[in-house]
Amino acid sequence: MSTMPVGGLVPLAEENAADLVVRNARIHTGDPARPHAEAIAVRDGVVTVVGDDKDVAGSVGPRTRVVDALGRRVVPGLNDAHLHVIRGGLNYVLELRWDGVRSLREGLRMLREQAARTPKGQWVRVVGGWSAEQFAERRLPTPAELNAAAPDTPVFVLHLYQSAVMNRAALKAAGFTRDTPDPKGGQIVRGRDGEPTGMLLAAPGALILYSTLAKAPTLEGEDRKTSTRHYLRELNRFGLTSAIDAAGGFQNFPDNYATVVELAEAGQLSLRIAYHLFPQTPGQEVDDLARWIATVRPEDGDAWLRLNGAGENLTWSAADFENFAEPRPELTDGYEAQFEKAVRLLMENGWGFRLHATYDETIRRDLAVFEKLAADGLFPAGNRWLFDHAETVSAESLDRIAALGGAVSVQNRMSFQGEVFLRRYGPGAAADAPPVRAMLDRGLTVAAGTDATRVSSYNPWVALHWLVSGRTVGDLALRPPSNRVGRRTALEMFTRAGAALTGEQDVKGQLRPGCYADLAVLSDDYFSVPEEEIPHIESLLTVVGGRVVYAAADYEGIDEELPPVSPAWSPVTRFGGYQASGRAQALSAGVRQAASLGEAVSESREHRRWREERGRVRADAAIPFDPCFDL
């Protein structure tokens, strides 16, 4: 291998060379000072050079991996600002995902096949990421259909925060009988004979749904780690490189966080996670917050796993429900007293927080508490706090949030619940749910996420499509152009705005020297693909901190190897996760087919010329196609 200087450039010594170079790309950097580039160099997990191919050529050393993007679009790694990633990871390999499935008939076929593979004592569970509106049939499965598909294996199908459908075997496994009382805020639907039919309704609270799901078997030990690693790989598949975990019910600290902590300590996370702590026990919230404040601090951790604050609940009495199939719940009179204690405790100790708040009625009451504490000097600048969701927030409330230095995190829950919201509140309210443009016009930091996995899908491109188009997964246009955003703004909400919520906007969300080397090479150009194709975009190559954590199509096989999915009967081993219908799936299939036939594919002429100019390859060498070269 030649080391002679070429074109006036002296090849770098190994200790000064880049670890990774991506070239021949159309890079959207997210950096206003240099919004577009052709190539990027990475060393020690951060970006060192951004420019043209010639600008990075001097960074190539003997062991530099050079990736030819083949003219594809490259974007900063996506950051889901509200994802239940920790809980999702602990359950991923146990779940049959209907995300992206286009017909109920296909969903039932998958369910029937999985039931035949599932051993005795285990459940088949379909938990979030889909809506009846995405199906050609526009309806839920019936208990009778679940009984026919799986007469002996318990089946639990969760639909949004609204309902669940169970077969007879699941009713028996969960212990539901004619004598089981309805829990508070929930309903067990019964037939004329008084026996449960298999339908559970949130009326309006979802506790009945989640407490029933909690009766299903869970993973233990190493299987939890394997499940989490495969879930993170699935997120990497869509170009996600960071997520903010919003905590949630049945996610106890520190027990349910132990798996991601162990993976972080072993260097096995492929996604950066900033997490929150959520008090689980009503009446004990302030005591729990005080205990955590005494033992941990926000920003404890590192660039891969770090504590970000409290929430998304601080006290249970202050939490509303987002079940749009039911009337807006009236919150408890006088909840503010306990809520104020929790917020005061956090602010006095420099803790940020996030708050689940669907309705303006909740937001107004919370803001009154904040304004009272701000008058005492307890809302200092730089102490990050935000509202999540905010579908019906008013203009007045947005002004008050801005005055207090708050931010907002919006999610595409309306992609999946827009039709039922429209029926209850009408087209005017639906057009402003949430008022994204009004938030941005006030200069608020507005980050975007999915709220996956139990309502929305974790596919961020479905959420980006919703931001840009205003359409649901059932293709109903809810938000008019005046309340939509352009593609660059939507991407900013999924990159740098999310980084601002964790105080990392100077090192994350852009591709410029000094920032984390987090990026995605896309299957299709997000900026030019037809709007209806945005949900089908995937990443072909995802890089986090300079590590290739996901690779498909032309790059298949160069990512890090994962342990096999366990247990072997997992739905993931048969069906995977999100059911793709885009070009990325065809690209990967084409590469696999070519490999199976032993076909030789020529290296791109332009890439070979660039390599030869660097003096690394003999001009007459016969090189099989490989877009990545360990030079």
Q: Per-residue pLDDT tens for 91-131?
A: 999 999 999 999 999 999 999 999 999 999 999 999 999 99
Question: Where residue 13 falls among pLDDT bands split at 50, 70, 90?
Answer: low
- Assign 309 to helix, strand or coil: strand
pLDDT above 90: percentage of residues in the chain: 86
Domain contains 288: no
Domain contains 276: no
Cα separation of 395 and 436, whole Å?
11
Radius of gyration of the chain (CA): 25
Task: Give the per-residue pLDDT at 603.
Answer: 42
Cα separation of 453 and 196, whole Å?
27
Task: Give the per-residue pLDDT at 609.
Answer: 57
pTM reported for the whole predicted model: 0.92
> Which residues form the domain of 186?
91-213
Domain contains 343: no
Inter-residue contact 473 to 417 (CB < 8 Å): no
User: What secondary structure, in 3-state letters, does 596-612 show?
Assistant: HCCCCCECCHHHHHHHH
Report pLDDT digits (tens) over 431-471: 999 999 999 999 999 999 999 999 999 999 999 999 999 99
The position carrying tokens 């026990």 is 281
Report pLDDT digits (tens) over 555-575: 999 999 999 999 999 999 999
- Assign 163 to helix, strand or coil: strand
Judging by DSSP bridges, how do beta strands 36-37 and 353-357 pair with one another?
A: unpaired
Task: Give the per-residue pLDDT at 624.
Answer: 32
Domain contains 290: no
Domain contains 374: no
Q: Is the dihedral of CA 173, 179, 184, 186 positive or negative?
A: positive
Domain contains 447: no
Inter-residue contact 43 to 516 (CB < 8 Å): no
Task: Give the per-residue pLDDT at 321.
Answer: 84
Question: Where residue 419 falls among pLDDT bands split at 50, 70, 90?
Answer: very high
Report pLDDT digits (tens) over 255-273: 999 999 999 999 999 999 9
Domain count, the chain: 1
Task: Give the per-residue pLDDT at 576.
Answer: 96
| Averaged pLDDT of the chain | 91
Torsion angle, alpha carbons of 602, 604, 610, 611, to 10: -30
Domain contains 182: yes
Identity at 625, one-letter amino acid code: F
Whether 627 has a pLDDT exceeding 50, the answer reads no
CA 165 distance to own-chain centroid: 25
Report pLDDT digits (tens) over 189-219: 999 999 999 999 999 889 999 999 999 999 9
Question: Where residue 631 falls among pLDDT bands split at 50, 70, 90?
Answer: very low
Cα separation of 526 and 542, whole Å?
15
Inter-residue contact 607 to 24 (CB < 8 Å): yes
Mean pLDDT (whole number) for 377-397:
94
Domain contains 149: yes
Task: Give the per-residue pLDDT at 381.
Answer: 81
Task: Give the per-residue pLDDT at 16.
Answer: 81
Inter-residue contact 321 to 205 (CB < 8 Å): yes
CATH number of the domain that residue 128 is part of: 3.10.310.70
